[in-house]
């Protein structure tokens, strides 16, 4: 891939593979038809909306539901098939697209193998994991082979939200879910579930075992930059403080959170070099995201870092 100077790179941009999505006929939070049309589009519409907003490169990742809720054999088979198809698409326009792999986390050893295959054979830039794996958090020791391989390959793992555990939905959100359907998802449920995933990883010791592991979190950190002082105060381990892990092992994207307050808090927590632009297309519009970033108070050099140069560096575009 040849990348121009100061490109605009959108890092968390989604699509759906029809065969993988077909395995979830009753999937939660079914999207409206217009959103579905964009999720399945791998051609003219996607490129036109990128061009209209001035986005040079989309880093594509399969949207939820992905392979985290399948059985081990099915998830492995579908991850390989889905990644192969995505690789063919990216190869057709390598100047405009890059990819994050879908991983069969229900079989952690197979997931580590698939991560290596997609990076070394298909040129993928890392992987995305959607929420819990059949009800289990990713910090559990059986999943650590994935992190071991990611560190060895020097590629990031993107932790993306999915719907919370059914017991959490029942206890925390059911009362208001009918009236406020997005409460379970992007309004609160996604944030709580993904922030919990991150916190559990930090206190589990996985970053002590794999100190060079890189993790990307969207939506400007799922509230963690705001909570960092209290998290560090109460949750630091003797061998490595909570804040140190967050500052040295995590990267954040702007996906679907075009907030000056959240951006400033994220930069204060991690520094501008660890913040990367994302739209969360098609759940947000390309133009909305680009226009917001260009209007922020960041100087030109920092805007260039966030809009693309940080992603070029992390993903080796």
Q: Which residues are annotated as catalytic?
A: 280
Which tokens belong to 78? 């579908």
Spacing of C-alpha 258 from chain mean position: 16
On whether the CB atoms of residues 94 and 56 are closer than 8 A, the answer is: no
Closest CA to 110 of 80, 130, 88, 132: 80
Copy the structure tokens of residue 155. Answer: 């590629």
Per the CB < 8 A criterion, the answer to whether 39 and 65 are in contact is: no
Residues whose CB is less than 8 angstroms from the CB of residue 106 and which lie 6 or more positions away in sequence, other chains included: 67, 68, 70, 71, 72, 75, 76, 133, 134
The DSSP H or E segment spanning 151 is: helix 144-153
CA distances from 69 to 38, 66, 130 (A): 23, 7, 9
Contact by Cβ (8 Å): 61, 12: yes
* DSSP tag of 156: -
Mind giving me the DSSP string for 121-146?
A: TT----EEEES-BTTB-TTSGGGHHH
Q: What angle do CA 209, 315, 295 make, to 5 degrees?
A: 115
């Amino acid at each position: 891939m040849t990348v121009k100077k100061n490109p605009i790179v959108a890092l968390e941009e989604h699509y759906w593979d029809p065969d993988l999505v077909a395995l979830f006929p009753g999937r939660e939070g079914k999207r409206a038809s217009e959103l579905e049309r964009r999720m399945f589009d791998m051609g003219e519409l996607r490129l036109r909306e990128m061009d209209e907003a001035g986005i040079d490169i989309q880093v594509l990742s399969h949207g939820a539901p992905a392979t985290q809720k399948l059985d081990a054999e099915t998830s492995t088979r579908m991850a390989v098939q889905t990644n192969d198809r995505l690789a063919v698409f990216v190869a057709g326009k390598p100047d405009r697209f890059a990819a994050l792999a879908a991983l069969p986390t229900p079989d952690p050893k197979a997931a580590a193998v698939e991560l290596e295959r997609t990076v070394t054979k298909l040129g993928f830039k890392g992987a995305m994991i959607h929420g819990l794996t059949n009800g289990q958090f990713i910090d559990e020791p059986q999943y650590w082979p994935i992190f071991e391989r990611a560190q060895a390959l020097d590629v990031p793992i993107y932790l993306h939200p999915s719907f919370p555990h059914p017991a959490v939905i029942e206890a925390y959100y059911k009362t208001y879910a009918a009236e406020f359907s997005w409460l379970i998802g992007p309004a609160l449920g996604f944030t709580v579930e993904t922030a919990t995933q991150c916190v559990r990883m930090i206190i589990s010791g996985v970053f002590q075992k794999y100190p060079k592991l890189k993790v990307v979190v969207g939506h400007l950190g799922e509230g963690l930059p705001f909570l960092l002082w209290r998290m560090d105060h109460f949750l630091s381990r003797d061998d490595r403080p909570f804040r140190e892990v967050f500052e040295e092992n995590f990267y954040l994207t702007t996906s679907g959170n075009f907030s000056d307050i959240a951006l400033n808090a994220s930069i204060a927590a991690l520094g501008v070099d660890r913040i990367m632009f994302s739209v969360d297309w098609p759940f947000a519009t390309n133009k909305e995201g680009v226009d917001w970033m260009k209007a922020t108070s960041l100087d030109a050099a920092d805007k260039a870092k966030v809009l693309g140069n940080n992603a070029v560096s992390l993903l080796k575009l």
